[in-house]
Amino acid sequence: MRNLIRRNIVAGFVAAATLATMAVGLEAQGVKIADPTSVVMIVNRDSNDIAFMDIKTHKIVGSVFLGNNVNPHMVMMSPDGRYVVTGGTRANKAYIIDTKTLQLVKTIPVDIAPEHLAFSPDSRWYYQGNPDGDSISVIDMQSLSKIKTIPGFVEPLNVTFLPDGSKAYVGNYGAHWVGVVDVRRHELIKKIQIAEVPGVAKLDPSKYLGEIHGINIAMPSPDGKYLYAADGTLGIVGVIDPREDKVVKHIRVGKDPWRIYMGHDGKYAITPNNGDETISIIDLKTNSVAATLEAGPNMTGVNFAQGKAFVISSTSGFVYVYDMNSLKPAGRIKMGTNIQLETATTDTKEEKLYLAESTNHEVLIIDAKTNAVERVGHVGLYPWGTHIMDSKDNYCH
Amino acid sequence: MMNVRRGKWDVGSKGKVSGLFALLCALHFSLFTCDTLAQGIRDRIRGDRDRPTAISEAQASELTLTLTKVEVRPIQVWVRTAGTGTGQVLRAAIRPEDAKFIKPDQRVRAFPPEHRSTMYQARVTQIVPGDGRAEVVVTLVAPGLKGSSRYVLEIVTEHGDLLSVPNEAIIETGDKRVVYVQGSEGSYTPREVELGVQGELFTEVVKGLMAGEQVVTFGSFFIDADHKLKGL
């Protein structure tokens, strides 16, 4: 018996020593993040860094400073978890960070004012949108170099890839068309006009060019059969069939829809309509509006969790909640007064939302079940957005 | 007209023999010449494989020529398999050699075939070894797609840090694997390599390259074509 106890104690010591050695070993190798799914990435616009917050402890475990006057806009992790990338809007550069070591491994000059970005599903290509340069920079993630700049867009805001990675779709906020890019050749091969522009814009396009609220994103439906593109000025959602790259249906929604957000179960999608402070819930089976509900001003995002939709009203300090089963309002959560809410991501368990709040430099964690809010301060200056690997709600303004 | 056509053949027996002799000579000559010519073309096509091909700056820009360093980097192999199950627990068959690199609690990407653009995160809960076939049990971190019991599973396995080149750099010619290595400015030499672990983006190089050398990735196919066309 005594021998058994002694043996257990020895075994315990050996195990502890092994674990300690492993931890020291990892640290010695400079490993700061062993599991890329364990962190929330926070893009801090004014402190010019990307902060990494542990999902379990809500502690900042590291941050990567990008340089002075960079103003990173959106952060994203490659699907293989190897790199974290961001576009520096003021620096006109793309930044590539090694996830494990949190080392800035490459800075690549791109076009003017890089903002939103996307990865091809195989992590091979990183498409960086440059709204002021009217172009997309193609970055090869094997050589970590820019191989091409695709011109011909008009304020390209967001890029989405087909699940097979063959084509990419670019929303042009300064126009009413979606650009189709052949990913093999990295060339703009087609412009899909979402609808006819109003006659008045046709008469004097230069007068109305600055006022165009065009297409923010062409979002694939969860089954990948269609893409949905909301046009702000026209107040419609165009349904695109990617087999022929044609608009097969128009859905009229509220005034000035910001963009479309897909529900996780594939039943509904939502457009926040900033023109009339409503949301339109679209039934993806029938491609028609199932409900139009009141919302708040200046909506910047929609997240889905626990059978609810959470709509961020950036300037009111409220997050509006909707029951996605009954398609009815389910109250609103007061996040604070005189604050500016930015965008949020949802964890993969679909239990919590991580919302960036730029006024007080904090991240607000919303429990999707109870609507309780936890505040994590001092995350960096002017947190602009958040990102979690594999989240279904990774987006930016 | 008929006479003219027949003229060559319409001769006496002596003439027939000499005609036949002439025909055989011509046939032999033509075969010999064709053979020589064919050999010449093949030689010209095959050329001296070790000589570099030169690419001008304009061509390089046209081809979006991209170079990548040969270096030691982590190689990931994405194991893809079909998982089935009820609720959040899914089971899938994998190869025993892949099972060695899969660890419990490892991240898995699960895609229902009917919702191809929606990814569900899962974790490895168990690896069941077996002869000829192993099994992996994974659990979705959140409820999956309603009514769906089948998923395509993607498991990213780490094979360690190995001397490697991007997959795109490798050109397969018959049973040989060739990469184009940058020599002096603008010149590229084909080099035969021996490969090891083939990852999703990078492949291990066992023999033929040294760390620090630059190989052509994007555009290697065009350089290869150019190399062959120039008969170098």
- What does chain B look like in DSSP terms, one character per residue? -HHHHHHTT---HHHHHHHHHHHHHHHHHHHHHHHHHHHHHHHHHH--TTS-EE--HHHHHHTT--EEE-EEEEEEEEEEEEEEEETTEEEEEE-HHHHTT--TT-EEEEE-TT-TT--EEEEEEEEE--SS-EEEEEEESS---TT--EEEEEEEEEEEEEEEEEGGG-EEETTEEEEEEE-STTEEEEEE-EEEEE-SSEEEEEES--TT-EEE-TTHHHHHHHHHHTT-
By C-alpha distance, which of A69, A72, A79, A78 is closest to A94?
Answer: A72
- What does A285-322 look like in DSSP terms, one character per residue? TTTEEEEEEE--SSEEEEEEETTEEEEEETTTTEEEEE
- Whole-angstrom Cα distance, residue A397 to residue A72? 13
pLDDT grade, residue A210 (50/70/90)?
A: low
Which residues are B93's β-sheet partners?
B135
Task: Give which of A126, A142, A265 to mutate to test B binding, by max B Cβ within 10 Å.
Answer: A142
Asked if B19 is an interface residue toward chain A (Cβ–Cβ < 8 A), one would say no
Q: Characterize the bridge pairing of strands A246-252 and A236-241.
A: antiparallel
pLDDT grade, residue B31 (50/70/90)?
A: very low
Averaged pLDDT, B199-217: 94
- Whole-angstrom Cα distance, residue A262 to residue A160? 13
Residue B23: per-residue pLDDT? 47
Q: Which residues on chain B are in Cβ contact (under 8 Å) with A140?
A: 66, 217-218
Decide if pLDDT at A199 tops 70: no
Averaged pLDDT, B160-173: 93
As for the ipTM of the complex, it is: 0.79
Per 3-state DSSP, chain A is made up of helix, strand and coil in percentages (nearest 5) of 10, 50, 40
Decide if pLDDT at A385 tops 50: yes
Tell me the nearest-neighbour CA distance from B180 into chain A, angstroms: 15
Decide if pLDDT at A69 tops 70: yes
Averaged pLDDT, A156-170: 95
Compare CB distances from B114 to A80, A223, A349 and report the shortest one's residue.
A223
Q: Characterize the bridge pairing of strands B150-166 and B71-86.
A: antiparallel
Higher pLDDT, A132 or B54: A132
Decide if pLDDT at A188 tops 90: yes
Averaged pLDDT, B120-145: 93
The identity of residue A333, as a single letter, is: I
Rg (CA), chain B: 30
Residue of chain B whose Cα is closest to the Cα of A388: B121
Question: Do the chains contact at B64 and A82, CB–CB below 8 Å?
Answer: no
Residue A161: per-residue pLDDT? 96
Asked if B147 is an interface residue toward chain A (Cβ–Cβ < 8 A), one would say no
Token representation of residue A68: 């002075």
Residue of chain A whose Cα is closest to the Cα of B202: A142
Tell me the nearest-neighbour CA distance from A71 into chain B, angstroms: 29
Residue of chain B whose Cα is closest to the Cα of A305: B142
End-to-end CA distance of chain B: 51
- Whole-angstrom Cα distance, residue A168 to residue A297? 31
Tell me the nearest-neighbour CA distance from B141 into chain A, angstroms: 5
Q: What percent of chain B has pLDDT over 70?
A: 74
Are A139 and A156 in contact by the 8 Å Cβ rule? The answer is: no
Question: Do the chains contact at A80 and B202, CB–CB below 8 Å?
Answer: no
pLDDT digits (tens, 9 = 90+) for B74-102: 999 999 999 999 889 999 999 999 999 99
Which residues are B77's β-sheet partners?
B157
Are A189 and A172 in contact by the 8 Å Cβ rule? The answer is: no
- Write phi, then psi, for A194 (nearest 5 degrees): -75, -40
Residue A206: per-residue pLDDT? 57
pLDDT digits (tens, 9 = 90+) for A84-125: 999 999 999 999 999 999 999 999 999 999 999 999 998 999
Neighbours of A345 (CB within 10 A): 28
Decide if pLDDT at A44 tops 90: yes
Decide if pLDDT at B26 tops 70: no
Residue A204: per-residue pLDDT? 60
Averaged pLDDT, B186-210: 94
pLDDT digits (tens, 9 = 90+) for A220-256: 998 889 999 999 999 999 999 999 999 999 999 999 9
Q: Which residues on chain B are in Cβ contact (under 8 Å) with A35?
A: 107
Q: Which residues on chain B are in Cβ contact (under 8 Å) with A350?
A: 142
Which range among A9-13, A303-307, A374-378, B109-113 shows the weakest confidence by mean pLDDT?
A9-13
The identity of residue A304, as a single letter, is: F
Residue B11: per-residue pLDDT? 37
Q: What percent of chain A has pLDDT over 70?
A: 89
Q: Which residues on chain B are in Cβ contact (under 8 Å) with A26?
A: none
- Whole-angstrom Cα distance, residue A38 to residue A219? 27
Mean pLDDT across chain A: 91
Asked if B217 is an interface residue toward chain A (Cβ–Cβ < 8 A), one would say yes
- Write phi, then psi, for A158 (nearest 5 degrees): -135, 145
Decide if pLDDT at B13 tops 50: no
Averaged pLDDT, A159-173: 95
pTM, two decimal places: 0.82
Residue A320: per-residue pLDDT? 98
**Assign residue B29 a region: left if phi > 0, alpha if psi is -120 to 50, beta otherwise?**
alpha
| Chain A residues within 8 Å of chain B (Cβ atoms) | 35-37, 79-82, 122-124, 140-143, 145, 147-148, 162-163, 186, 220-224, 264-266, 348-351, 390, 392
Question: Do the chains contact at A79 and B166, CB–CB below 8 Å?
Answer: no
Question: Do the chains contact at A37 and B121, CB–CB below 8 Å?
Answer: yes
Decide if pLDDT at B159 tops 60: yes
Question: Do the chains contact at A147 and B218, CB–CB below 8 Å?
Answer: yes
- A373: which DSSP letter? E
Residue of chain A whose Cα is closest to the Cα of B75: A82
Question: Do the chains contact at A143 and B66, CB–CB below 8 Å?
Answer: yes
Residue B104, classified by CB atoms within 10 Å of its CB into exposed (0-12), middle (13-18) or buried (19+), is exposed
Tell me the nearest-neighbour CA distance from B128 into chain A, angstroms: 23
